[in-house]
Amino acid sequence: MTCNKTAWHGIGLFDFAWDTEIGSTDERLDKLDFKELLRTKKAVLFDLDGTLVDSMWLWGKIDVAFLAQHGIACPPDLEDALEGKSFDATAHYFKERFDLPMSPGEIRQTWVDMAIEAYRTAVPLKTGALRFLQYLDRNGIKAGIATSNGIEMVDAVIDAKGVRPYFQAIVTGCEVGSSKPAPDIYLEAARRLGVEAADCIVFEDIPAGIMAGKNAGMTVFAMEDEFSKGMEEKKRTLADGYFADFHEAMGELGA
Protein backbone atom coordinates (compact mmCIF):
# COMPACT_ATOMS: atom_id res chain seq x y z
CA MET A 1 0.00 0.00 0.00
CA THR A 2 1.71 3.13 -0.64
CA CYS A 3 1.94 4.32 -4.23
CA ASN A 4 3.29 1.02 -3.40
CA LYS A 5 2.17 0.72 -0.15
CA THR A 6 5.53 1.62 0.41
CA ALA A 7 7.61 -0.18 -2.01
CA TRP A 8 7.92 -3.18 -0.01
CA HIS A 9 5.10 -4.82 -1.61
CA GLY A 10 6.35 -7.46 -3.72
CA ILE A 11 5.75 -8.05 -7.32
CA GLY A 12 5.70 -11.04 -9.20
CA LEU A 13 9.20 -10.13 -8.35
CA PHE A 14 10.90 -12.59 -10.62
CA ASP A 15 8.46 -12.29 -13.50
CA PHE A 16 10.35 -9.27 -14.81
CA ALA A 17 12.99 -9.48 -17.47
CA TRP A 18 15.12 -7.15 -15.36
CA ASP A 19 18.14 -8.65 -13.64
CA THR A 20 17.27 -10.15 -10.29
CA GLU A 21 20.67 -11.40 -9.25
CA ILE A 22 22.73 -8.28 -9.76
CA GLY A 23 26.16 -7.96 -8.29
CA SER A 24 28.42 -10.21 -6.29
CA THR A 25 30.61 -9.81 -3.27
CA ASP A 26 33.58 -8.96 -5.54
CA GLU A 27 31.59 -6.22 -7.28
CA ARG A 28 30.39 -4.43 -4.15
CA LEU A 29 31.78 -1.05 -3.17
CA ASP A 30 32.12 -1.67 0.56
CA LYS A 31 35.73 -0.50 0.51
CA LEU A 32 35.16 2.37 -1.89
CA ASP A 33 35.74 5.83 -0.48
CA PHE A 34 32.17 7.09 -0.20
CA LYS A 35 33.26 10.72 -0.07
CA GLU A 36 35.22 10.39 -3.28
CA LEU A 37 32.36 8.52 -4.95
CA LEU A 38 29.87 11.21 -4.03
CA ARG A 39 32.13 13.86 -5.52
CA THR A 40 31.79 12.13 -8.90
CA LYS A 41 27.98 12.15 -8.82
CA LYS A 42 25.42 14.82 -9.64
CA ALA A 43 22.33 13.47 -7.83
CA VAL A 44 21.20 11.25 -4.98
CA LEU A 45 17.84 9.47 -5.23
CA PHE A 46 16.00 8.18 -2.19
CA ASP A 47 13.32 5.60 -1.74
CA LEU A 48 10.91 6.91 0.92
CA ASP A 49 9.57 4.21 3.24
CA GLY A 50 12.20 2.31 5.16
CA THR A 51 14.95 4.41 3.59
CA LEU A 52 14.37 8.12 4.11
CA VAL A 53 11.68 7.72 6.77
CA ASP A 54 10.92 5.06 9.38
CA SER A 55 7.42 4.05 8.32
CA MET A 56 7.37 0.37 7.42
CA TRP A 57 5.94 -0.55 10.81
CA LEU A 58 2.84 1.48 9.98
CA TRP A 59 1.85 -0.42 6.85
CA GLY A 60 1.92 -3.79 8.54
CA LYS A 61 -0.61 -2.48 11.04
CA ILE A 62 -2.76 -0.96 8.30
CA ASP A 63 -2.83 -4.24 6.35
CA VAL A 64 -4.04 -6.14 9.39
CA ALA A 65 -6.62 -3.53 10.37
CA PHE A 66 -7.93 -3.03 6.83
CA LEU A 67 -8.42 -6.74 6.15
CA ALA A 68 -9.95 -7.25 9.59
CA GLN A 69 -12.65 -4.73 8.66
CA HIS A 70 -13.64 -7.21 5.96
CA GLY A 71 -13.37 -10.28 8.19
CA ILE A 72 -10.13 -11.44 6.57
CA ALA A 73 -6.97 -12.51 8.37
CA CYS A 74 -3.77 -11.02 6.98
CA PRO A 75 -1.99 -13.85 5.11
CA PRO A 76 1.67 -14.48 5.94
CA ASP A 77 2.80 -14.17 2.33
CA LEU A 78 1.31 -10.71 1.78
CA GLU A 79 4.49 -8.69 2.29
CA ASP A 80 6.40 -10.76 -0.26
CA ALA A 81 3.49 -10.64 -2.69
CA LEU A 82 3.42 -6.84 -2.61
CA GLU A 83 7.10 -5.91 -2.63
CA GLY A 84 7.77 -3.19 -5.17
CA LYS A 85 4.16 -2.65 -6.28
CA SER A 86 2.85 0.87 -6.72
CA PHE A 87 0.08 2.14 -4.48
CA ASP A 88 -2.47 1.78 -7.30
CA ALA A 89 -1.25 -1.69 -8.29
CA THR A 90 -1.48 -2.79 -4.66
CA ALA A 91 -5.09 -1.60 -4.47
CA HIS A 92 -5.93 -3.67 -7.57
CA TYR A 93 -4.12 -6.65 -6.06
CA PHE A 94 -6.12 -6.41 -2.83
CA LYS A 95 -9.42 -6.18 -4.69
CA GLU A 96 -8.68 -9.21 -6.83
CA ARG A 97 -7.04 -11.42 -4.22
CA PHE A 98 -9.52 -10.74 -1.42
CA ASP A 99 -12.61 -10.19 -3.62
CA LEU A 100 -13.36 -6.91 -1.86
CA PRO A 101 -16.66 -5.08 -2.48
CA MET A 102 -14.82 -1.83 -3.18
CA SER A 103 -13.23 -0.26 -6.22
CA PRO A 104 -9.43 0.04 -6.30
CA GLY A 105 -9.89 3.80 -5.93
CA GLU A 106 -11.97 3.34 -2.79
CA ILE A 107 -9.40 0.93 -1.35
CA ARG A 108 -6.63 3.41 -2.08
CA GLN A 109 -8.49 6.28 -0.43
CA THR A 110 -9.22 4.16 2.64
CA TRP A 111 -5.49 3.50 3.04
CA VAL A 112 -4.73 7.21 2.64
CA ASP A 113 -7.30 8.05 5.31
CA MET A 114 -5.79 5.46 7.65
CA ALA A 115 -2.19 6.55 7.11
CA ILE A 116 -2.08 10.29 6.47
CA GLU A 117 -2.13 11.55 10.05
CA ALA A 118 0.55 9.08 11.10
CA TYR A 119 2.78 10.34 8.29
CA ARG A 120 2.33 13.86 9.61
CA THR A 121 2.86 13.11 13.29
CA ALA A 122 4.33 9.65 13.98
CA VAL A 123 6.71 8.84 11.11
CA PRO A 124 10.26 10.15 11.73
CA LEU A 125 13.13 10.74 9.35
CA LYS A 126 15.77 8.04 9.46
CA THR A 127 18.74 8.77 11.72
CA GLY A 128 21.06 11.31 10.11
CA ALA A 129 18.80 11.92 7.10
CA LEU A 130 18.40 15.66 7.66
CA ARG A 131 22.16 16.19 8.06
CA PHE A 132 22.81 14.20 4.89
CA LEU A 133 20.27 16.24 2.92
CA GLN A 134 21.89 19.43 4.21
CA TYR A 135 25.30 18.11 3.13
CA LEU A 136 24.02 17.43 -0.38
CA ASP A 137 22.51 20.90 -0.56
CA ARG A 138 25.72 22.59 0.59
CA ASN A 139 27.71 20.69 -2.01
CA GLY A 140 25.42 21.35 -4.95
CA ILE A 141 24.28 17.74 -5.34
CA LYS A 142 20.68 17.35 -6.47
CA ALA A 143 18.24 15.13 -4.56
CA GLY A 144 15.08 13.30 -5.55
CA ILE A 145 12.54 10.88 -4.11
CA ALA A 146 11.49 7.79 -6.07
CA THR A 147 8.82 5.98 -4.10
CA SER A 148 6.16 3.37 -4.61
CA ASN A 149 4.07 5.21 -2.02
CA GLY A 150 1.21 7.57 -2.78
CA ILE A 151 1.91 11.28 -3.22
CA GLU A 152 -0.41 12.08 -0.31
CA MET A 153 1.92 10.36 2.16
CA VAL A 154 5.03 11.82 0.53
CA ASP A 155 3.63 15.34 0.82
CA ALA A 156 2.50 14.78 4.40
CA VAL A 157 5.83 13.57 5.75
CA ILE A 158 8.23 15.86 3.86
CA ASP A 159 6.17 18.92 4.74
CA ALA A 160 5.83 17.87 8.39
CA LYS A 161 9.59 17.34 8.64
CA GLY A 162 10.41 20.51 6.72
CA VAL A 163 12.57 18.79 4.10
CA ARG A 164 10.69 19.56 0.88
CA PRO A 165 13.15 22.32 -0.11
CA TYR A 166 15.95 19.75 -0.34
CA PHE A 167 14.28 17.81 -3.18
CA GLN A 168 14.19 18.92 -6.79
CA ALA A 169 12.15 15.94 -8.02
CA ILE A 170 9.57 13.56 -6.56
CA VAL A 171 8.35 10.56 -8.55
CA THR A 172 5.78 8.01 -7.39
CA GLY A 173 5.26 4.54 -8.77
CA CYS A 174 1.83 5.55 -10.01
CA GLU A 175 3.49 7.87 -12.54
CA VAL A 176 5.60 5.27 -14.36
CA GLY A 177 4.90 2.20 -16.40
CA SER A 178 6.43 -0.61 -14.37
CA SER A 179 7.07 -1.13 -10.67
CA LYS A 180 10.41 -1.88 -9.03
CA PRO A 181 12.62 -3.83 -9.84
CA ALA A 182 12.04 -2.32 -13.29
CA PRO A 183 14.17 0.83 -13.61
CA ASP A 184 11.34 3.13 -14.72
CA ILE A 185 10.95 5.16 -11.54
CA TYR A 186 14.67 5.87 -11.15
CA LEU A 187 15.14 6.72 -14.80
CA GLU A 188 12.23 9.16 -14.58
CA ALA A 189 13.67 10.75 -11.45
CA ALA A 190 17.01 11.24 -13.21
CA ARG A 191 15.25 12.72 -16.23
CA ARG A 192 13.40 15.24 -14.09
CA LEU A 193 16.64 16.22 -12.38
CA GLY A 194 18.36 16.64 -15.73
CA VAL A 195 21.14 14.15 -15.00
CA GLU A 196 22.34 10.89 -16.50
CA ALA A 197 21.62 7.61 -14.72
CA ALA A 198 25.33 6.93 -14.31
CA ASP A 199 25.64 10.19 -12.37
CA CYS A 200 23.19 9.05 -9.66
CA ILE A 201 23.47 7.29 -6.32
CA VAL A 202 20.39 5.47 -5.01
CA PHE A 203 19.51 4.65 -1.41
CA GLU A 204 17.08 1.74 -0.99
CA ASP A 205 15.92 -0.60 1.77
CA ILE A 206 14.50 -3.64 -0.05
CA PRO A 207 15.76 -6.00 -2.76
CA ALA A 208 13.23 -4.92 -5.41
CA GLY A 209 14.25 -1.29 -4.99
CA ILE A 210 17.95 -2.11 -5.03
CA MET A 211 17.46 -4.02 -8.28
CA ALA A 212 15.49 -1.10 -9.74
CA GLY A 213 18.42 1.22 -9.15
CA LYS A 214 20.94 -1.28 -10.52
CA ASN A 215 18.76 -1.96 -13.56
CA ALA A 216 18.77 1.80 -14.17
CA GLY A 217 22.57 1.77 -14.26
CA MET A 218 22.99 3.61 -10.98
CA THR A 219 25.22 3.04 -7.93
CA VAL A 220 23.03 1.67 -5.13
CA PHE A 221 23.52 1.65 -1.37
CA ALA A 222 21.27 -0.53 0.77
CA MET A 223 19.92 0.97 3.97
CA GLU A 224 19.28 -1.01 7.11
CA ASP A 225 15.68 -1.13 8.29
CA GLU A 226 14.05 -3.21 11.00
CA PHE A 227 11.29 -4.31 8.62
CA SER A 228 13.75 -5.84 6.14
CA LYS A 229 16.25 -7.11 8.72
CA GLY A 230 15.72 -10.68 7.54
CA MET A 231 16.75 -9.62 4.02
CA GLU A 232 20.09 -8.13 5.03
CA GLU A 233 22.27 -10.77 3.38
CA LYS A 234 20.40 -10.46 0.09
CA LYS A 235 20.52 -6.67 0.27
CA ARG A 236 24.26 -6.70 0.87
CA THR A 237 24.74 -9.04 -2.08
CA LEU A 238 22.65 -6.99 -4.49
CA ALA A 239 23.80 -3.50 -3.50
CA ASP A 240 27.11 -1.74 -4.09
CA GLY A 241 27.37 -0.86 -0.41
CA TYR A 242 25.44 -0.93 2.87
CA PHE A 243 24.78 1.65 5.57
CA ALA A 244 23.11 1.20 8.95
CA ASP A 245 21.76 4.76 8.68
CA PHE A 246 22.64 8.19 7.33
CA HIS A 247 24.65 8.96 10.44
CA GLU A 248 27.07 6.26 9.31
CA ALA A 249 27.10 7.76 5.81
CA MET A 250 27.95 11.17 7.30
CA GLY A 251 30.78 9.55 9.20
CA GLU A 252 32.19 8.26 5.92
CA LEU A 253 32.03 11.82 4.62
CA GLY A 254 33.93 13.11 7.66
CA ALA A 255 31.08 15.46 8.37
Report field, pTM of the whole predicted structure over 0.85:
no
CA–CA dist 120, 154 (Å, integer):
10
Question: Higher pLDDT residue, 186 or 114?
Answer: 186
pLDDT tens digits for 158-168?
999 999 999 99
pLDDT tens digits for 57-106?
998 888 899 999 999 999 999 988 887 788 888 899 999 999 999 999 99
Supply the pLDDT for residue 89.
87
Superfamily holding 16-54+124-252: HAD superfamily/HAD-like (3.40.50.1000)
**What is the helix (H) or strand (E) element at residue 94, kind and residue range?**
helix 87-98
pLDDT tens digits for 228-241?
999 999 999 999 99
Rounded to the nearest angstrom, the gap between the alpha carbon of residue 216 and the centroid of all alpha carbons in its chain is 15
Task: Compute CA distances 73 → 79, 208, 255, whole Å.
Answer: 14, 26, 47
Supply the pLDDT for residue 88.
86
Coil, strand or helix: which one is 164?
Answer: helix
The domain segmentation of the chain, as residue ranges, is 16-54+124-252, 57-121
